[in-house]
């Protein structure tokens, strides 16, 4: 470990997370809250920044653990819309509307309509 690496104890981080939240909910200035709670003001600012709790601060990056799955945003890929081709719009019994891509095969549309109308 070099001199620029800082190891943060999870328990200490939790204590400071609680302190920052307490100050934010207190309505007191940081200087006054620190004085009344026996904290060093510079430590408060350091921890608040380190924990990503400063106003307007980006969320801290989550540490990636090798071998542990990483969650990503769900991506839905839709087929490209052909220029000048309108989607198929069907109005069903009861006024329900179904919009289908113009490229959908007729057999598939027929199966879908039988399934929908059969469920009524």
Q: What is the pLDDT of residues 36-58, one digit of tens each?
A: 999 999 999 999 888 888 887 66
DSSP class of residue 117 equals H
Instruction: Please compute the mean of the pLDDT values over residues 2-30 and round it to a whole number.
Output: 81
| 79 located within any domain | no
DSSP helix/strand/coil, 9: coil
| 46 located within any domain | yes
Q: Which is nearest to 26 in space by CA: 9, 11, 44, 8?
A: 44
Q: What is the pLDDT of residues 80-114, one digit of tens each?
A: 666 777 788 888 777 778 888 888 888 888 888 88
Helices 30-37 + 41-50 axis angle, to 10? 110
Name the burial class of residue 45, with classes exposed (0-12), middle (13-18) and buried (19+) by CB atoms within 10 angstroms of its CB. Answer: middle
| 65 located within any domain | no
pLDDT at 11 over 60: yes
Pick the more confident residue, 68 or 36: 36
| 83 located within any domain | no
Q: What domain range includes position 110?
A: 88-118
Task: Count how many domains the chain has.
Answer: 2
Instruction: Please compute the mean of the pLDDT values over residues 10-32 and round it to a whole number.
Output: 91
| 1 located within any domain | no
- State pTM to two decimals: 0.43
| 56 located within any domain | no
Q: What is the pLDDT of residues 18-28, one digit of tens each?
A: 999 999 999 99
| 73 located within any domain | no
| 4 located within any domain | no
């Amino acid at each position: 470990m070099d001199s620029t690496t800082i190891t943060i104890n999870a328990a200490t981080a939790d204590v400071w997370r609680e302190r920052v939240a307490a100050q934010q909910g207190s309505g007191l200035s940081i200087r006054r809250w620190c004085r009344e709670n026996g904290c060093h003001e510079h430590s408060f600012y350091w921890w608040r920044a380190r924990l990503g709790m400063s106003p307007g601060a980006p969320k801290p990056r989550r540490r990636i653990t090798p071998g542990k799955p990483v969650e990503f945003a769900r991506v839905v890929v839709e087929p490209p819309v052909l220029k000048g081709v309108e989607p198929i719009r069907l109005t069903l019994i009861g006024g329900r509307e179904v919009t289908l891509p113009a490229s959908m095969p007729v057999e598939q549309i027929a199966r879908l309509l039988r399934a929908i109308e059969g469920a009524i």
